[in-house]
């Protein structure tokens, strides 16, 4: 979106009447994000990116989730939302972002587990947005038109990964099923604000109803947890020794989450995609990790 258009939106919908200070923060697949300051207060203004509806953006659902997450202290307060035009304005969250070392600290693993339990305890909005790993895989594959091998993957590797993903989806379906909960589904350190007393999550546009372990898989994968750290997260989340089936389920979902992230990287790198620093390197890292375990069972 052009900056003068953003200025018109901010002038109309950001609280206050003083002059505006607008700082572009990021351009993503589904949102363009800006920091807007006015009358001594700051806000995050998110505007739907072009063609974002084709990538699954659903502001109506996101707003219903935030109506539950905000009172629980899990998300910044909404100031304005216009789902039909893809606009969302939230108060700016004060605090600090974690770095990679913070995310691996044992005490913070416990804090994340507690945060996830609180998210997953939120009441489910009516007509939930239900997503499964296979739906994400099909979704991104179709969006990127990946009927051919993805960029950076040889044809054999792409086929091997797709086959490995299908086996894991089938293995999940054959195991115990658990009730779906609200999952944030985009858990990484850039979306986490630590006020010192509490943790707040930003950017809920990927939230959906799913297996609660999908969020554990996401945090583990995005922070490159080894088996010991993933086990620590699972034990902290369950608040008891996990069962064999629970460990197996998390391993399967962790592999599938990595695969979904690889497809996302392919989408970003595709012609017409939004270039981002480090995407190619991240794709290579994910592909290597996935291929190393593609033929194994149980993740």
Q: What is the mean pLDDT of residues 49-66?
A: 78
Identify whether residues 48 and 117 lie together within a single domain.
no
* Residue 165 in this model has a pLDDT that exceeds 60: yes
Q: Which position has the higher pLDDT, 12 or 299?
A: 12
Identify whether residues 258 and 221 lie together within a single domain.
yes
**Residue environment code for 18-42, b if the CB has 16+ CB neighbours within 10 A, otherwise e:** eeeebeeeeebbbbbbbebbbeeee
Q: Which position has the higher pLDDT, 98 or 196?
A: 98
Identify whether residues 75 and 35 lie together within a single domain.
yes
Q: Provide the mean pLDDT of the chain.
A: 89
8 Å CB contact between 97 and 190 = yes
Identify whether residues 164 and 229 lie together within a single domain.
yes
pLDDT at 150: 45
Last residue of a domain, one of 91, 115, 133: 91
Least confident stretch, 11-20, 28-37, 46-55: 46-55
Residue 175: give its domain's CATH number: 3.90.1200.10
pLDDT at 277: 58
pLDDT at 147: 41
* Residue 298 in this model has a pLDDT that exceeds 50: yes
Identify whether residues 242 and 118 lie together within a single domain.
yes
The whole-model pTM stands at 0.91
Percent of the chain with pLDDT over 70: 89
Give the strand pairing for 31-38 and 41-48.
antiparallel
* Residue 82 in this model has a pLDDT that exceeds 80: yes
* Residue 146 in this model has a pLDDT that exceeds 50: no
Residue 282 domain-assigned?
Answer: yes
Domain range enclosing 54: 3-91
pLDDT at 299: 61
pLDDT band at 297 (very low <50, low <70, confident <90, very high): low
3-state secondary structure labels for all residues of 127-192: CCCECCHHHHHHHHHHHCCCCCCCCCCCHHHHHHHHHHHHHHHHHHHHCCCCCCEEECCCCCHHHE
pLDDT at 46: 93
Last residue of a domain, one of 68, 91, 114: 91
Domain count, the chain: 2
Per residue in 188-244, pLDDT (tens digit) is: 999 999 998 899 999 999 999 999 999 999 999 999 999 999 999 999 999 999 999
pLDDT at 270: 58
Percent of the chain with pLDDT over 90: 71
pLDDT band at 252 (very low <50, low <70, confident <90, very high): very high
Per residue in 110-133, pLDDT (tens digit) is: 999 999 999 999 999 999 999 999
Residue 35 domain-assigned?
Answer: yes
Identify whether residues 79 and 108 lie together within a single domain.
no
* Residue 103 in this model has a pLDDT that exceeds 60: yes
- Neighbour tally for 293: CB within 10 Å: 15
Main-chain dihedrals φ then ψ at residue 214, nearest 5 degrees? -60, -40
Identify whether residues 113 and 187 lie together within a single domain.
yes
pLDDT at 56: 65
In terms of C-beta distances under 8 Å and separation of at least 24 residues, what long-range contacts does 287-296 make, across chains too?
A: 287/152, 287/153, 287/157, 287/161, 287/262, 289/258, 290/161, 290/164, 290/255, 290/258, 290/259, 290/262, 291/157, 291/160, 291/161, 293/255, 294/160, 294/161, 294/164, 295/164
Q: Which position has the higher pLDDT, 299 or 95?
A: 95
Residue 298 domain-assigned?
Answer: no
């Amino acid at each position: 979106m052009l900056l003068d258009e953003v200025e018109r939106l901010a002038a109309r919908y950001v609280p206050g009447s003083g002059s505006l200070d607008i700082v572009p923060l990021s351009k993503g697949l589904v949102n363009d994000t800006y920091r807007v300051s006015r009358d001594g207060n700051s806000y995050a203004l998110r505007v739907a990116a072009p063609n974002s509806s084709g990538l699954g953006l659903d502001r109506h659902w996101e707003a219903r989730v935030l109506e539950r997450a905000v009172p629980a202290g899990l998300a910044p307060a909404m100031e304005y939302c216009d789902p039909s035009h893809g606009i969302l304005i939230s108060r700016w969250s004060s605090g600090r972002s974690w770095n990679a070392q913070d995310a691996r600290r044992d005490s913070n693993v416990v804090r994340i587990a507690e945060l996830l339990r609180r998210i997953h305890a939120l009441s489910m909005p009516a007509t939930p947005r239900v997503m499964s790993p296979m739906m994400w895989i099909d979704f991104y594959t179709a969006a990127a038109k990946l009927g051919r091998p993805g960029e950076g993957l040889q044809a054999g590797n792409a086929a091997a990964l797709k086959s490995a993903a299908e086996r894991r989806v089938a293995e999940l379906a054959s195991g115990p099923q658990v009730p779906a909960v609200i999952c944030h589904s985009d858990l990484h350190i850039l979306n986490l604000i630590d006020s010192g007393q509490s943790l707040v999550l930003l950017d809920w546009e990927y939230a959906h109803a799913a297996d609660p372990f999908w969020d554990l898989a996401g945090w583990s994968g995005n922070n490159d947890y080894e088996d010991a750290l993933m086990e620590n997260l699972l034990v902290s989340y369950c608040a008891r020794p996990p069962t064999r089936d629970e460990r197996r389920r998390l391993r399967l979902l962790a592999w599938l989450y990595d695969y979904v992230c690889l497809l996302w990287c392919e989408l970003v790198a595709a012609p017409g995609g939004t270039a981002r620093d480090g995407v190619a390197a991240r794709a290579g890292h994910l592909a290597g990790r996935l291929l190393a375990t593609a033929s194994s069972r149980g993740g």
